[in-house]
Amino acid sequence: MLLIAGLGNPGSQYARNRHNIGFMAVDAIHARHRFSPWVKKFKALIADGTIDGEKVLLIKPQTFMNLSGQSIGEAMRFYKLALDDLVVIYDELDLPAAKVRIKAGGGANGHNGIKSIDAHMQGLLGGKDYRRLRLGIGHPGAKELVHNYVLGDFAKVDNEWLDLLFSALSDNLAYLVKKDDNGLMNKLTLALGGQQTTTKPVVKDTGAKPVPKAQSHIRQARQNNNNAPSSVIKLPASGPMADMLARLFGKKDN
């Protein structure tokens, strides 16, 4: 059996939050395939189905993000599952929006849901090397903006790449079940290739003046020819470049 956990916070007020992209992905999988209706168990909503001949259990913890490990730990113990039978889908700040990564193990990178699951898996199975499917949501650009950003809703224009992501993940779920992570990544990358996203970094104003871009010798010579201030013009005095600039911009006889 494969246990696919989507992370998020319960309640309609959180439904479109960036932090809830794990819930959104699992909901899309549930809608695409013939899973059972959602039922309450393990302090979570669960649904079961079969993908490519393998039994799959979807789980959405209802304990709020910071306690996600409670629900997942209970389900893992009940079904006597191993670490490699678990896939967790969640939001990743350090990936640009519409970018996806999957690997076994790794750090929590400040994600409280993953911290909770790590703690429960470490105590239950003696390790943290379960598979993690990280869905990029982008970063607001400053640490103090993160809380409001992840608990903020996706913009309507994000629907284009979100729909592509969820459709590609749902259509290629068999790769996840077969533990063919490279095959899944190839399919997702192909589906999401070239997507434009709305996430833009926030740049703090430090008061420093921007550094001017370097100009070519030809542009500087053109400015000089148009009586630009000599203090900003630094042209070569000799050599091939000096000879060429003299031919191009040298003053003609009247």
**72-76, 155-159, 175-179, 201-205: segment of lowest average pLDDT:** 201-205
Told to judge if 19 belongs to the known catalytic residues of this protein, a careful annotator would answer yes
Please tell me the total count of domains within the chain. 2
Give a yes or no: residue 198 inside a domain: no
Give a yes or no: residue 201 inside a domain: no
Active-site choice (19, 30, 120, 139): 19
Give a yes or no: residue 207 inside a domain: no
For residues 245 and 166, state if they share a domain.
no
pLDDT above 90 (res 240): no
Write the DSSP string, 117-147.
HHHHHHHHHS----EEEEEE----SSGGGHH
* Pairwise CA distance, residues 144 & 198, whole Å: 20
Give Cα separations from 79 to 4, 6, 74 (angstroms). 13, 18, 9
pLDDT digits (tens, 9 = 90+) for 32-58: 999 999 999 999 999 999 999 999 999
* CB of 1 closer than 8 Å to CB of 55: yes
Domain extent at residue 139: 2-192
What was the pLDDT predicted at 229?
46
pTM: 0.77
For residues 177 and 104, state if they share a domain.
yes
* CB of 245 closer than 8 Å to CB of 233: no
For residues 177 and 58, state if they share a domain.
yes
Give a yes or no: residue 94 inside a domain: yes
Q: What is the CATH number of the domain that holds 165?
A: 3.40.50.1470
Segment 232-237 shows an average pLDDT of 51
* Pairwise CA distance, residues 139 & 57, whole Å: 31
Helices and strands (H and E) in the chain: how many: 9, 7
pLDDT digits (tens, 9 = 90+) for 10-34: 999 999 999 999 999 999 999 999 9
Give a yes or no: residue 203 inside a domain: no
For residues 230 and 108, state if they share a domain.
no
For residues 6 and 119, state if they share a domain.
yes
For residues 31 and 105, state if they share a domain.
yes
pLDDT digits (tens, 9 = 90+) for 160-206: 999 999 999 999 999 999 999 999 999 999 999 856 444 444 434 44
For residues 62 and 143, state if they share a domain.
yes
Provide the residue count of the chain.
254
Give a yes or no: residue 157 inside a domain: yes
For residues 161 and 232, state if they share a domain.
no
Give a yes or no: residue 205 inside a domain: no
